[in-house]
């Protein structure tokens, strides 16, 4: 039961159950985003690499899962199972959609910036087939992001993707403000954001002011 493959399958199943990628699961648990990547499961010389018990404990705590539930996922042939209440059932090619004005309200995202709660619409993922777990869409409202994004454009956001300097990102503050900016700098103390619209100022936030930050991976224009 506790084979190398079984442990990794159980972690993948736990990620899928919570609509996360392996990297998204690691990030939610406060681990390096590459901790659970497939490339980390074997060494360069082919030896098996196992996840640490500390990593598994952090994942269980971050997802609210019990050790009994994790052990259940280790059973041979066990499917990932249903999603917890408040999340979305997997539908190939479809993702949750929300307007920017709604996104600032509470209850639509979990602590990691992933879609949760009620009130979302569902739309087809316009970028074609691929991984849609945890990915969602935000519809631009207003002209504050002109000329790059116009009213009615749809941004595809992946909270599980690694964010780097120069990426276009969506940021939600603890005060409920949601904005699309360019990440200029990120440190342990805070972030600096460049405005997409020259008529709007650049922004700087301390880490404690940020609820979550997620990378924009596609936009309909």
Kindly tell me if the per-residue pLDDT of 25 is higher than 90: no
Kindly tell me if the per-residue pLDDT of 129 is higher than 50: no
Dihedral Cα 144, 150, 151, 154, nearest 10 deg: -110
Residues forming a β-bridge with 30: none
Secondary structure (3-state) at 6:
helix
Taking only the tens place, the pLDDT of each residue in 39-58 is 888 887 888 889 888 999 88
State the pLDDT confidence band at 26, using cuts at 50, 70 and 90: confident
- Helix (H) or strand (E) holding 186, with range, is strand 178-186
State the pLDDT confidence band at 182, using cuts at 50, 70 and 90: very high
Percent of the chain with pLDDT over 70: 85
Kindly tell me if the per-residue pLDDT of 192 is higher than 50: yes
The 3-state secondary structure of 79-115, one letter per residue: CCCCCCCCCCCCCCCEEEEEEHHHHCCCCCECCCCCE
Taking only the tens place, the pLDDT of each residue in 90-119 is 444 678 888 877 787 767 777 777 777 667
pTM of this prediction? 0.57
* Higher per-residue confidence, 80 vs 99: 99
**Dihedral of CA 100/104/105/108: which sign?**
positive
pLDDT at position 13? 84
* Higher per-residue confidence, 214 vs 100: 214
* Higher per-residue confidence, 90 vs 35: 35
Percent of the chain with pLDDT over 90: 12
End-to-end CA distance of the chain: 49
With CA atoms as reference, report the closest residue to 173 among 208, 134, 200, 211. Answer: 211
Q: What is the mean pLDDT of the chain?
A: 79
Kindly tell me if the per-residue pLDDT of 88 is higher than 80: no
Kindly tell me if the per-residue pLDDT of 206 is higher than 90: yes
Kindly tell me if the per-residue pLDDT of 193 is higher than 90: yes
Taking only the tens place, the pLDDT of each residue in 141-167 is 877 777 778 888 888 898 888 888 999
Place of tokens 């199943």: 13
State the pLDDT confidence band at 170, using cuts at 50, 70 and 90: very high
């Amino acid at each position: 039961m506790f084979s190398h493959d079984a442990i990794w399958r159980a972690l993948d199943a736990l990620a899928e159950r919570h609509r996360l990628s392996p990297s998204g699961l690691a990030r939610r648990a406060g681990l390096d985003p590459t901790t659970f990547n497939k490339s980390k499961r074997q060494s360069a010389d082919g030896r098996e690499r196992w996840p640490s018990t500390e990593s598994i404990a952090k994942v269980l705590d971050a997802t609210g899962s019990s050790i009994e539930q994790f052990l259940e996922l280790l059973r041979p042939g066990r499917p990932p199972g249903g999603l917890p209440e408040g999340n979305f059932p997997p539908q190939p090619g479809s993702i949750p959609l929300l307007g920017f004005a709604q996104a600032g309200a509470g209850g639509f995202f979990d602590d990691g910036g992933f879609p949760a709660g009620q009130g979302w619409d569902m739309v087809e993922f316009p970028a074609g087939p691929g991984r849609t777990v945890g990915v969602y869409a935000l519809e631009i409202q207003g002209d504050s992001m002109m000329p790059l994004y116009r009213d009615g454009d749809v941004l595809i956001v992946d909270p599980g993707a690694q964010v780097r300097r120069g990426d276009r990102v969506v940021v939600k503050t603890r005060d409920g403000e949601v904005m699309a900016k360019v990440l200029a700098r990120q440190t342990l103390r805070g972030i600096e954001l460049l405005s997409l619209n020259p008529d709007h100022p650049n922004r700087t936030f301390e880490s404690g002011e940020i609820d979550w930050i997620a990378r924009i991976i596609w936009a309909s224009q």
